[in-house]
Amino acid sequence: EEQSVEVPVFSAASYVCQRHTGQPGHNPLLTESLAVLAESAELNGDEGRGLAFRRSEALLRSLDRRVQGMTDLRGLPCLGEHSRRVIQDVLVNGRSSEVEETKASSRYKAMKVLTGVFGVGVKTAKRWFTEGICLKHYADLNQPVTRDEADSVSVTVEAAVCSVLPGAQVTLAGGFRRGKTSGHDVDFLITHPDEGKEEGLVRKVVACLESRGFLLYHQTTKNTYQESAQGAGRPSSNMDRFERCFSIFKLTNGGDPRDTRRAQEQAEGREPDQTASAGSRPWRAVRVDLVVSPISQFAFALLGWTGSKLFEREMRRWAVHEKSMTLSSHALYDKNQERYLRASSEEEIFSHLGLEYVSPSGRNA
């Protein structure tokens, strides 16, 4: 190799939120391997270990070229001993035996079924769903949501929101805002330019959607957020307190014979779906999250609900450890100045935190 020993092949900042992380990156084999181990650790309730693998995965995904050998990784942060061992295995043997064994284990496979459907941890899935709901829509929910389907849900949600509160704004958040072409669900953030008008909006929107026959399941929670002198929420709590609705939509394909899902399956060369009898009925179930934020918290809510989870988590860690601030989906609190820092855009929040702005497409950590 021509590469000089002194000049590192790659360099990377140590916090995920200091970097641009796209999808899927230049090292898919490595990142997929680390993702399996991260998942497995998470499923086993070992969060610390899961997080370590997630950080390694994100680091590799942020690299702008393919890793050729272990020497390329010299000086890079976030890569622990275990991750490096796995990477070496894959680089040398084309596969990691630990990853293969993990994937083959029945525990991993069983857990995958559940988390694969909901895109959430097992605990969350159990909390939100009765087994009946889970089984009833299993086949549909197990199918990734396409961008076309997300757009179709957007149209329905916008129509409902607009009819119950004219002037309200609907923003597509979550993975689709980050430019992902498929997802577990569709996330929407709703607000109104006049503070206070948004109160109770979720219930009204849900009632409207329900009356129009678009909901198969919904569970609404009230807004319980209040600013406190102690600062913006507990850093350990990932859950925000917005008024929100966890729902399952009945997405009709509008009688279009070119069902987007079938078209995509064909394009990808997959077998047509045998589990859901989707071909015999003109609709399918899609997970949708609706969240309502007051306009004063909108920038924080948008940042929080755009994700990814790891990106958010790293931003919060950066805030606490590097800036003595606490960041949540509601607010940013400066512990030194003992005051909240307001923001009306995501850019302002990055700037308050002394971070370079990372656009949504770069937050796919």
Q: What share of the chain is helix, strand, coil (3-state, %, to 5)?
A: 45, 15, 40
57, 185, 273, 346: which one contacts ligand CTP (CB under 6 A)? 185
Contact stretch for ligand CTP (CB under 6 A) within 147-155, 219-227, 257-265, 299-307? 299-307
Cα dist from 54 to 49, 78, 303, whole Å:
9, 9, 20
- Please indicate whether residue 185 is annotated as part of the active site: yes
H/E element, 141: helix 138-141
146, interface contact from ligand CTP, Mn ion, none, CB < 5-8 Å by kind: none
State the binding string over 238-277 for ligand CTP (x if CB under 6 A, else -). -xx-------------------------------------
Q: Is 181 in the site for Mn ion (CB under 5 A)?
A: no
In the set 140, 185, 240, 273, the catalytic residue is 185
- Please indicate whether residue 240 is annotated as part of the active site: no
Nearest to ligand CTP of 89, 314 (CB atom): 314
In the set 72, 187, 240, 273, the catalytic residue is 187
Q: Is 140 in the site for ligand CTP (CB under 6 A)?
A: no
Bridge partners of residue 252, in order along the sequence: 283
Nearest to Mn ion of 183, 233 (CB atom): 183
Q: Is 174 in the site for ligand CTP (CB under 6 A)?
A: yes
Minimum gap (Å) between residue 216 Cβ and ligand CTP: 18
184, 284, 316, 330: which one contacts ligand CTP (CB under 6 A)? 184
Q: Is 289 in the site for Mn ion (CB under 5 A)?
A: yes
For residue 346, give the 3-state DSSP assignment: helix
Contact 66, 27 (CB under 8 A): yes
What is the strand order of the sheet 325-327 is part of?
A: 325-327, 332-334, 339-340
Bridge partners of residue 251, in order along the sequence: 284
Q: Is 154 in the site for Mn ion (CB under 5 A)?
A: no
85, 109, 270, 309: which one contacts ligand CTP (CB under 6 A)? 309
Minimum gap (Å) between residue 185 Cβ and Mn ion: 4
Contact stretch for ligand CTP (CB under 6 A) within 31-39, 71-79, 304-312, 352-360? 304-312
Distance CA 199, CA 293 (A): 9
308, 331, 355, 360: which one contacts ligand CTP (CB under 6 A)? 308
Cα dist from 331 to 37, 76, 210, 295, 304, whole Å:
33, 32, 32, 12, 10
Distance CA 276, CA 140 (A): 6
Q: Report residue 324: phi and psi, to 5°.
A: 55, 45
- Please indicate whether residue 256 is annotated as part of the active site: no
Environment class of residue 300 by beta-carbon count within 10 Å: exposed (0-12), middle (13-18) or buried (19+)? buried
Nearest to ligand CTP of 27, 306 (CB atom): 306
Which residues touch 170 (CB under 8 Å, ≥6 apart)? 154, 157, 158, 161, 188, 189, 190
25, 50, 174, 233: which one contacts Mn ion (CB under 5 A)? 174
Cα dist from 146 to 141, 153, 201, 343, 354, whole Å:
12, 11, 27, 32, 35
What residues between 194 and 223 interact with ligand CTP by CB under 6 A? none
Task: Please give the residue ranges that form the binding site for ligand CTP (CB under 6 A).
Answer: 119-120, 174-175, 180, 183-185, 187, 239-240, 289, 304-305, 307-309, 312, 329
Chain positions contacting Mn ion, by CB under 5 A: 174-175, 183, 185, 187, 289
Catalytic residues: 185, 187, 289
